[in-house]
Amino acid sequence: MANVTVIGAQWGDEGKGKIVDWLASRADAVVRFQGGHNAGHTLVVGDKTYKLSLLPSGIVTGTLSIVGNGVVLDPWHLKAEVEKLEGQGVEINPDNFAIADNCPLILPIHRDLDGLRETAAGSGKIGTTGRGIGPAYEDKVGRRAIRVCDLAHLDHLEPQLDRLCAHHDALRAGFDQPPIDREELLAQLREIAPFVLQFAQPVWKRLKKVRKAGAKILFEGAQGVLLDIDHGTYPFVTSSNTVSGTAAAGSGLGPNSTGFVLGIVKAYTTRVGSGPFPTELDDEVGEGIGERGHEFGTVTGRQRRVGWFDAVLVRQTCAISGVTGIALTKIDVLDGMDEVKICTGYRLNGKIMDYFPSHAADQAVVEPIYETMPGWSESTAGARSFADLPANAVKYIQRVQELIETPVALVSTSPERDDTILMRDPFMD
């Protein structure tokens, strides 16, 4: 098993970017396979901080970085992000960066529609990132998307534009918006096309070559399993499958290529946007964790909701996603607490549940059952070996491992790349 698939095992923002960046120096290619620029992955390397939304985190180490077909791509955002990173000294060129030519595009109309729907929904809103992700995926499965390869054939776009406009103009009329300005859209696409096309290729072919040469591929998931369109807290989810199996379909490789599935798990729980959250803390304990963990969204700057570690949810997401081992991140944020709690089950209508039910109404009312453990006053921040961790932190990690029925492969103790404890090398498995 030479490949590693990294996925978020909670509601996103578990620290995937940091772990992918740490693993990237030992990989030959890093591939994003779903989501879009709704992701926000923060990498800290020495005195530099990189914030990536669309580009694979491998780009910072100069590792071949690939945007797979499962991603929805905003070409204008792509240009802005490439330019921002180049401004930070990162080299990005067709040798180290490729985009699947069958990737659907996010257009300005998608972003507009995302915003219009959220505003109209009022208190029932999903709390999306407003980046047009949902509408772009809808057009993909509705067979009316404009894709990267269309940028090389803009003179033949009319039939696709007919399909796109027929659908969107009706929706737009419902929001009192004018029809799509086809000429303007075509002009915008013509302007951005050369920038995107320099990176475009059938990436399945490149990945086939990489695989044949015995190289290691690192698949970088975005969001988390609880935001998965099928397995997440529907309808408060994102519009892609975030589970590990998507790595294959979203990049053009078979299901046997995903390798070691590394679930990234925060030592507590956070969520951005609306939807159920059984262990949410609405008190100063939650505020304290949020402040110490700097829990503000990378993409929208929104304050993240914070709660205790929920072992029921993570046991479920690890099972659903076939997680081989987890990376437990942000353990340092729990330093200095008198006690820490772990949710081990729920109460629903007088019954005890060992799983999270599917219906939104049940998800909203389950009551967490907690196990309380003593905290630790010593610091874990920056620890690079298990022996450096205080005894109670070790007990906490061991209890988490037991409850989620999945081994801990890595522990992360600060935002900094090298503040990482390796217990089981995912590339060696």
Element housing 169 (H / E): helix 158-174
19, 30, 40, 78: which one binds ligand IMO (CB under 6 A): 40
Which member of 13, 150, 228, 332 is catalytic?
13
- Does the protein bind ligand GDP through residue 35 (CB under 6 A)? no
Picked from ligand IMO, ligand GDP, Mg ion, none, the partner binding residue 127 (CB below 5 to 8 A depending on kind) is: ligand IMO
- Does the protein bind ligand GDP through residue 333 (CB under 6 A)? yes
Of the listed pieces 33-41, 60-68, 141-149, 153-161, which binds ligand IMO according to CB under 6 A?
33-41
3, 4, 9, 17: which one binds ligand GDP (CB under 6 A): 17
Per residue, the 3-state secondary structure of the chain, as one string, reads: CCCEEEEECCCCCCCHHHHHHHHHCCCCEEEECCECCCCCEEEEECCEEEEECCCCHHHHHCCEEEECCCECECHHHHHHHHHHHHHCCCCCCCCCEEEECCCEECCHHHHHHHHHHHHHHHHHCCCCCCCCHHHHHHHHHCCCCCEHHHHHCHHHCHHHHHHHHHHHHHHHHHCCCCCCCHHHHHHHHHHHHHHHHCCEECHHHHHHHHHHCCCCEEEECCCCHHHCCCCCCCCCCCCCCCCCCHHHHCCCCCHHHCCEEEEEEECCEEECCCCCCCCECCCHHHHHHHHHCCCECCCCCCECEEECEEHHHHHHHHHHCCCCEEEEECHHHHCCCCEEEEEEEEEECCEEECCCCCCHHHHHHCEEEEEEEECCCCCCCCCCCHHHCCHHHHHHHHHHHHHHCCCEEEEECCCECCCEEECCCHHHC
- Does the protein bind ligand GDP through residue 221 (CB under 6 A)? no
- Asked if residue 63 lies in contact with residue 96, where contact means CB atoms within 8 angstroms, the answer is yes
Picked from ligand GDP, ligand IMO, Mg ion, none, the partner binding residue 329 (CB below 5 to 8 A depending on kind) is: ligand GDP
For the question of residue 41 being annotated catalytic, the response is yes
Which member of 21, 28, 41, 228 is catalytic?
41
Count of residues touching Mg ion (by CB under 5 A): 3
**For residues 268-297, which are near ligand GDP according to CB under 6 A?**
294
4, 5, 18, 111: which one binds ligand GDP (CB under 6 A): 18
- CB 267 to Mg ion: min, Å: 16
1, 2, 44, 192: which one binds ligand GDP (CB under 6 A): 44
Output the six-digit token pair for 230: 């099928």
Separation of CA 323 from chain center:
16
For the question of residue 167 being annotated catalytic, the response is no
φ/ψ of 333, rounded to 5, equals -70, -25
**For residues 229-258, which are near ligand IMO according to CB under 6 A?**
238-239
8, 15, 36, 40: which one binds Mg ion (CB under 5 A): 40
- CB 274 to ligand IMO: min, Å: 6
**For residues 7-26, which are near Mg ion according to CB under 5 A?**
13
Task: Select 50 or 346, whichever has its Cβ closest to ligand GDP.
Answer: 50
Of the listed pieces 6-14, 88-96, 139-147, 308-316, which binds ligand IMO according to CB under 6 A?
6-14
Task: Select 245 or 276, whichever has its Cβ closest to ligand IMO.
Answer: 276
- Does the protein bind ligand GDP through residue 415 (CB under 6 A)? yes
Picked from ligand IMO, Mg ion, ligand GDP, none, the partner binding residue 115 (CB below 5 to 8 A depending on kind) is: none
- Does the protein bind ligand IMO through residue 131 (CB under 6 A)? yes
**Residues at the site binding Mg ion, with contacts judged by CB under 5 A:** 13, 40, 298
**Residues at the site binding ligand GDP, with contacts judged by CB under 6 A:** 8, 12-18, 40-42, 44, 294, 298, 329-330, 332-333, 412-415
**Residues at the site binding ligand IMO, with contacts judged by CB under 6 A:** 8, 11-13, 38-41, 126-129, 131, 133-134, 222-224, 227, 238-239, 272-273
